[in-house]
Amino acid sequence: MNTLSLKKCYALSWKSFRKWWIPLCLISTVILLFEVGPRIMLRPETAALKQAFLEVVEGVQGATLEEVEGMLLEAQSESWAYTVKLLKLLLLALPVITLLSVLLLTWANMAVKDHRSTNLPGRMLCIAGVHLLLAFVKGLAFAFFILPGLYLYTRLFFVTLIMLEEKEYRMMRAIQKSWMMTRGNFWNLLALICLNGTLQLAVAPTLIGLIPATGFANTVRAAAYQMLKL
């Protein structure tokens, strides 16, 4: 059984990340800045939310406490409506996001191996479906039981990568192999997951920084997988 070294894992990840991910992250950043960002800012819901908060800021001076409370409630209502609409859009986009996540993980794995591998489109869709299903299961575990959720997330950490590399593997067999690979390395993998999560949370408010951080986190996962499967 191989033992995961966090130092070697992150060293391999950074070496691979420099070769493959930086150009991709630059392209993604340009798309976010000049395509996605402007589209969000031009939506009528965004304009309504902005106007509601401007009215609060402008109306605070000289307003009574009751008037300020009314303006805050209106701004809160606009904010909630905006959040609900964004969540609906996110749910509609979730299948596409999942497929992109699998594609990015594929590229990360190829970067670490320094070798190209291919999967048929139908199999990629199947793997994306498994990825989405496991994300839902792990999400439920986190929602109700934090510690069991962390345990389940860690033990199933390599399922998608196994299915990407081992073309004959189905979901249950990939789950069994991930369970076996993570045995004896649980705490190191949990530390890796926490480090990656902390990095992504730290840069999440910038949005742009989240793109390379997510790319690097995927590369770390692929590096850990390649080190443990040897």
Residue 36 near residue 86, CB atoms below 8 Å? no
pLDDT at 76: 73
Specify the DSSP class assigned to residue 205.
G
The whole-angstrom distance between residue 53's C-alpha and the CA centroid of its chain comes to 30
φ, ψ dihedrals at 17, nearest 5°: -60, -40
Percentage with pLDDT > 90 across the chain: 20
The whole-angstrom distance between residue 11's C-alpha and the CA centroid of its chain comes to 22
Q: Which of 74, 75, 68, 38 is nearest to 53 (CA)?
A: 75
- Listed in sequence order, the residues at least 6 apart from 2 whose beta carbon sits closer than 8 Å to its beta carbon are 185, 227, 228, 229, 230
How far, in Å, are 1, 2, 117, 203, 209 from residue 19 at the CA level? 29, 26, 17, 22, 18
How far, in Å, are 16, 89, 95, 182 from residue 135 at the CA level? 26, 18, 12, 18
The predicted-structure confidence for 14-29, as pLDDT tens digits, reads as follows 888 877 776 666 666 6
Specify the DSSP class assigned to residue 36.
I
What is the model's pTM?
Answer: 0.71
Answer whether residue 38 shows pLDDT above 60.
no
Question: Rounded CA gap, 222 and 209, in Å?
Answer: 20
Q: What is the average pLDDT score of the chain?
A: 78
pLDDT band for position 119 (cuts 50, 70, 90): low
Provide mean pLDDT across the span 124-153. 81
Q: Which of 192, 199, 200 is nearest to 224 (CA)?
A: 192
- Tokens 């990568």: give the residue: 161
Using only the alpha carbons of the chain, give its radius of gyration.
Answer: 21
